[in-house]
Amino acid sequence: MMRHKQFINGVFGLALFAVSSTGFADSALVKEGEQLFNMNCMACHQADAIGKPGFAPSLTNKELLSIASDKFFMSTIRDGRVGTGMPPFAHLGKKKIKAIVAFLRSHEKLPNRSKEVDAEHTSYGDPRKGKLWFTQICENCHGTDGEGYSAGGSGTAIGKPGFLNKVSDGFIRETIKNGRSNTRMRGFSGPGGLANLRDSEIDDVIAYMRSLNSK
């Protein structure tokens, strides 16, 4: 009986050690990521990556963290966004970029839905109709062709390959529907939305945005 109890206690102790060791490793990775963020990203994205309207987007917005995959963050940091103020940081290497993403993830407040969102259906909307909606509800902030800040608006460059090649239709759909809290990006679906777009109309907007990638 005593040996059995000692065995159970030993296993329990090892389990606690494993958990604490994992927690320590995660904390260390987040700390490293914070230091790397402060050295490389904070000048534009501000402290804690809260962003600055018309200059750099928030990277710790709870809706963004909920629908964006690690792959999205890592490839964006690595490649930058051609035609915008976001340069590539490939020189940091995969491990350091992963640490920055861990720091961003430490701000999560909602469940991570990125796999579910990226698995949403592809848009088969009408880009001609989508252009009409884009002109009415998106152009003022994001520019005529989604040029972003360079067009003088407060919205990011959603019409450039650096964005469109890294996001799924589900990512765009969820962003249009729900917006981003504490930013100027409001939702456009439901009674509380700025335009209460139907799902088919949102897919039309997505189709138009995709067409910008060929320009």
Mean pLDDT of the chain: 89
- Residues 173, 67: Cα–Cα separation, whole Å: 10
Give yes or no: residues 138 and 70 share one domain. Answer: no
- pLDDT exceeds 70 at position 215: no
- State the chain's maximal CA–CA distance in angstroms: 77
Lowest mean pLDDT among 183-187, 198-202, 206-210: 183-187
Of 105, 136, 171, the residue that ends a domain is 105
- CATH label of the domain that carries residue 62: 1.10.760.10
pTM for the full predicted model: 0.86
Which residue among 79, 105, 131 closes a domain?
Answer: 105
Domain membership flag for residue 41: yes
SS3 70: helix
* % of the chain exceeding 90 in pLDDT: 78
pLDDT band for 40, please (50, 70, 90 cuts): very high
Rounded to a whole number of angstroms, the CA Rg of the chain reads 21
Q: What percent of the chain has pLDDT over 70?
A: 88
Mind giving me the DSSP string for 137-174?
HTHHHH-TTS-GGGGTSSS--TTSHHHHTT--HHHHHH
Same domain? 133 vs 90: no
How confident is the model at residue 12, as a pLDDT?
39
Which of 47-56, 67-76, 199-208 is least confident? Answer: 47-56
Q: Which domain holds residue 79?
A: 8-105
Q: What are phi and psi of 110, to 5 degrees?
A: -125, 160
Are 12 and 89 within one domain? yes
Asked if 30 and 102 count as a contact pair (C-beta separation under 8 A), the reply is yes
Confirm whether 3 is domain-assigned: no
Of 105, 138, 155, which residue is a domain's last? 105
Q: Higher model confidence: residue 18 or residue 29?
A: 29
* Higher-pLDDT residue of 151, 160: 160
> Would the pLDDT of 42 be above 80?
yes
**Residue 94, both tokens:** 């995969």
Does some domain include residue 47? Answer: yes
- Asked if residue 182 and residue 121 are part of one domain, the reply reads yes
Q: How far is 45 from 90, CA to CA, in rounded Å?
A: 18
Q: How many domains does the chain have?
A: 2
The SS3 assignment for 52 reads: strand
> What single-letter amino acid sits at 28?
A
Half-sphere exposure of 18 (CA within 13 A, CB side): 6
